[in-house]
């Protein structure tokens, strides 16, 4: 996991003052090239790390060896915690390390560093959609979360015209490449997909954030609500075991393995409607079998039959022309 290596790298440099990429690679059990990339990543993130070329050289922290992090500026501390913070939600050892690092910072930097560590979480389970590139707005909104500054969003809901609203940014979530902003509004907590945000401008006004707000807990509530809506229909499907990993990656948490039958595996697939399940598996053709043990599964089979008939009707080759009459 890259974030824990970055933290470990910084602590090693704090203790030794100078380290080579080869030494770091041996300590962390990675390749020298990986160790060099990690050092360069720390430098690019704003941490005062720089190389000393030549014999006897290596990588050092500006100001020499330190046993704490007092050599970091406020901006540098925020950069480090933005790098490592998202992983803390899924790695308890990172969370523990970040707490220790916060205590090592000068008191005036601690609040911003803690806010940076909690500004973003990563949810690796996808909705079953294509992964998107990181939006440019992430950096702007991360800064607003850390500084607790209100933001004016221009947001476009699906099927509606764009509209402006002022929100209190509470945190960002990277869900398998799709980014979301969790924010406070006059109507309570709301969640915004960043690919629907056309513009985000900090207003300079202080944002209100509940003192007991927990981003991971709030996001879990969002996911549970969405998954409940998306899981109203369940179908039992037989999938070739050799393709099970591909099938599960395609459908994410909506696919649950029920029974290993050897060459085939029985899974349960969920979606809002039987038609949605049919559309999701139609591309697998005859490789998968929808069992008709339940009414919902039978409806999925009916939809697949209709989809198949429509495709045959549209794409069946025209019969060859007969011989011309004399």
Tens of pLDDT along the chain (326 residues)? Answer: 455 677 677 777 766 778 888 888 888 788 888 888 888 877 766 677 777 777 777 888 765 434 345 455 555 555 555 655 555 554 555 555 555 565 555 555 556 655 655 565 555 555 544 444 456 788 788 888 878 899 999 999 888 899 999 999 998 888 777 889 999 998 899 999 988 999 999 999 999 988 888 888 888 888 888 777 766 788 999 999 999 999 999 888 789 999 999 999 999 998 888 898 999 999 999 999 999 777 777 889 899 999 999 999 888 887 776 665 65
Q: Which two tokens stand for residue 60?
A: 């050092």
Q: Where are the domains of the chain?
A: 2-118, 123-218, 231-315
Beta strands in the chain (DSSP E): 18-19, 49-52, 58-61, 120-123, 149-155, 163-175, 178-185, 188-193, 197-206, 233-240, 255-260, 264-271, 289-290
C-beta separation of 101 from 7 below 8 A: yes
C-alpha to C-alpha distance for 319 and 326, rounded to whole angstroms: 21
C-beta separation of 77 from 112 below 8 A: yes
C-beta separation of 64 from 98 below 8 A: no
CATH 1.10.10 fits 2-118, yes or no: yes
Three-class DSSP labels, 224-263: HHHHHHHCCEEEEEEEEHHHHHHHHHHHHHHEEEEEECCC
Which fold does the domain 231-315 belong to in CATH? Alpha-Beta Plaits (3.30.70)
C-alpha to C-alpha distance for 16 and 229, rounded to whole angstroms: 54
pTM of the entire predicted model: 0.47
Q: CATH for 123-218, among 2.30.30.100, 1.10.1740.10, 1.10.150.120, 3.20.20.30? A: 2.30.30.100
């Amino acid at each position: 996991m890259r974030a824990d290596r970055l933290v470990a790298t910084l602590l090693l440099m704090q203790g030794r003052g100078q380290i080579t990429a080869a030494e770091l690679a041996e300590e962390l059990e990675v390749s020298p090239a990986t160790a060099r990339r990690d050092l360069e990543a720390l430098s690019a993130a704003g941490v005062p790390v720089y190389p000393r070329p030549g014999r006897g050289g290596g990588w050092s922290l500006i100001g020499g060896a330190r046993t704490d992090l007092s050599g970091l500026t406020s901006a540098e501390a925020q950069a480090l915690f933005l790098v490592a913070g998202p992983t803390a939600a899924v790695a308890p050892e990172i969370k523990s390390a970040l707490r220790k690092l916060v205590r090592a910072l000068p008191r005036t930097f601690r609040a911003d560093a803690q806010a940076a560590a909690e500004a973003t979480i990563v949810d690796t389970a996808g909705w079953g959609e294509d992964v998107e590139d990181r939006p440019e707005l992430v950096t702007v909104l991360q800064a607003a979360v850390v500084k607790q500054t209100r933001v004016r969003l221009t947001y476009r809901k699906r099927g509606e015209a764009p509209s402006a609203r002022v929100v209190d940014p509470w945190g960002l979530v990277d869900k398998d490449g799709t980014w979301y902003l969790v924010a406070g509004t006059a109507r309570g907590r709301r969640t915004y997909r960043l690919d629907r945000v056309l513009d985000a401008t900090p207003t300079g006004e202080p944002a209100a954030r509940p003192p007991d707000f927990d981003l991971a807990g709030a996001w879990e509530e969002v996911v549970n609500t969405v998954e409940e809506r998306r899981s109203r229909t369940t179908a039992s499907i037989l999938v070739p075991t050799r393709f099970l990993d591909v099938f599960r990656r395609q459908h994410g948490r909506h696919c649950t393995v029920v029974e290993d039958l050897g060459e085939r595996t029985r899974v349960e697939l969920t979606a809002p409607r039987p038609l949605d399940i049919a559309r999701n598996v139609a591309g697998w053709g005859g490789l998968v079998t929808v069992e008709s043990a339940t009414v919902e599964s039978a409806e999925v089979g009916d939809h697949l039959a209709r989809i198949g008939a429509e495709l045959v009707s549209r794409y069946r080759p025209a019969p060859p022309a007969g011989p011309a009459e004399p």
